[in-house]
Amino acid sequence: MFFSVIVPVYKVEKYLSGCIESVLNQTFSDFELILVDDGSPDRCPEICDGYKEKDGRIRVVHKTNGGLASARRAGIKEALGDYVFNLDSDDLIERDTLECAHKIITETSCDMVSFSYRWVKNGKTVNITNDGLDEGLYTEKDVEKYVFPRLLMDKDMNHMSYYLSGKAVKRELLTPNQLNVSEKISLGEDLCCVVPCYLQAKSVFISKKEAYLYTVRDDSLSKEFNTKQIYLVENVINEVSKNNLGRVTDFDKQLCRYSCFMCFAILASAAEGNHFKSIKAIKENIANSIHREKIPLAEFDNISLKSKIAIFLMKKNCYRVAFYFLNLCKSIKKLLKKG
C-alpha cells in the first residue's frame, strides 16, 4: 500500500462527508483512509462507520477525546502505507493530489512532499500560501541551505509551512516524530512534528501545486481567543527545543522571532476582536513566560510598518499602547474599504 491518509475527526459533522469524498474520489487508488474519531459528540462517529461499510479502504478508530496530537498518534499507529498524508476533517484535497504525490515520490525518492495551500471560504479562494521556495527537489544539503534558515522564521517573517496537513511524508520518518509529540500540546502540534521531520529528511520536494483546500470557517475552534495561548506557544517552544538542532546555526534567533511573532499575532487577534479586557492578562502572561526573555532579542528586517511599530512597543513593554495601535489600524482598514 502506498498511502495512508489520516483524518482526525472531532465536531465536524457539517464538513466530514465532503472531506471523506475528496479522498475516495482520488485519481490514484492505492491508499487506505484512517478516520480517527476523537470522541466526537455529534454524528461524526456514525458518519465514519457508515463510510467504512461502503468502502473497504476505510478504517475507523474510535477513541476518547484527547486532542489533535492524540488523534494523530492513534492514526499513525494504524498506518500501513509507505507514505502518510495528513488531512484535517473540515478540509479537502484536489482529485489528483495523491496521484501527483505518487509521481513526485517515484521520480525522486524524496522523504517528503509539501504542497501549497488554497484557502477557501464559501466556495471562493481567499488566499494562497506556500513554503516560499522555488518548486523542486531539495537534497539534504539543499534543505540545510534553504529550509533551515526559515524553519521557524527568518528576519523577514518568512517561514516554511507549519502545517503537517498537505504533506506526504515517508511513514518511517513520520512515525517516531509523530509519536514523540506530547499529547499535552494543544496549539502548534503540527510544528512540533514538522520540524524534526525536516531535520531528519534526506530530501524534500517543494510543490507549488495548490493541492490542499483549507476551509476558512467562521465557527472554527482555532479562532476562539484565549490569553492562555501565550503559554501554549511557550509549550511549543519547549517541545521543539528538545530536538537535535545543531545543524540549524541560528535556531536560537529563530526561536526569538517565532516567540515574538506569535505573541504579536495573539495581541493582534485580541485587537481585531475588540478584547480590551484581555490587555492586562496578555501582558502578565508574557511577563511570566519564556517570551519575556525572547521578545527583546527578536530581530526583523523587511516587515510591514505596522508590524515594526507594534513589535517596537512590545519590546518596550508597552502592550496597552500596542493593542490600541493595532485596534486603530483595524478601524482605519475598515474605513478605507468602505471608501
122 with 172, same domain: the answer is yes
Q: What pLDDT sits at residue 323? A: 97
What is the domain count for the chain? Answer: 2
Its domain, for residue 77, covers: 3-218
151 with 239, same domain: the answer is no
71 with 135, same domain: the answer is yes
- Give the model confidence (pLDDT) of 306-321 as tens digits: 999 999 999 999 999 9
CA distance 207 to 209: 5
211 with 232, same domain: the answer is no
256 with 299, same domain: the answer is yes
Look at residues 167, 201, 218 and tell me which one is the last residue of a structural domain. Answer: 218
Q: What pLDDT sits at residue 246? A: 86
204 with 259, same domain: the answer is no
- Give the model confidence (pLDDT) of 150-161 as tens digits: 999 999 999 999
Look at residues 167, 185, 218 and tell me which one is the last residue of a structural domain. Answer: 218
Low-confidence ranges of the chain (pLDDT < 70): 219-224, 339
* CATH number, domain with residue 204: 3.90.550.10
55 with 135, same domain: the answer is yes
Q: Please name the residue that has the C-alpha cell 495601535.
A: 325
CA distance 18 to 123: 13
231 with 211, same domain: the answer is no
Q: What is the 3-state secondary structure (H, E, C) of the chain?
A: CCEEEEEEECCCCCCHHHHHHHHHCCCCCCEEEEEEEECCCCCHHHHHHHHHHHCCCEEEEEECCCCHHHHHHHHHHHCCCCEEEECCCCCEECCCHHHHHHHHHHHHCCCEEECCEEEEECCEEEEEECCCCCCEEEEHHHHHHHHHHHCCCCCCCCCCCCCCCCEEEEHHHHHHHHHHCCCCCCCCHHHHHHHHHHHHCCEEEECCCCCEEEECCCCCHHHCCCCCHHHHHHHHHHHHCCCCCCCCCCHHHHHHHHHHHHHHHHHHHHHHCCCHHHHHHHHHHHHCCCHHHHHHHCCCCCCCHHHHHHHHHHHCCCHHHHHHHHHHHHHHHHHHHHC
pLDDT mean across residues, the chain = 94
Look at residues 218, 237, 261 and tell me which one is the last residue of a structural domain. Answer: 218
58 with 178, same domain: the answer is yes
13 with 151, same domain: the answer is yes
- Give the model confidence (pLDDT) of 21-56 as tens digits: 999 999 999 999 999 999 999 999 999 999 999 999
Q: What pLDDT sits at residue 228? A: 93
Q: What pLDDT sits at residue 221? A: 45
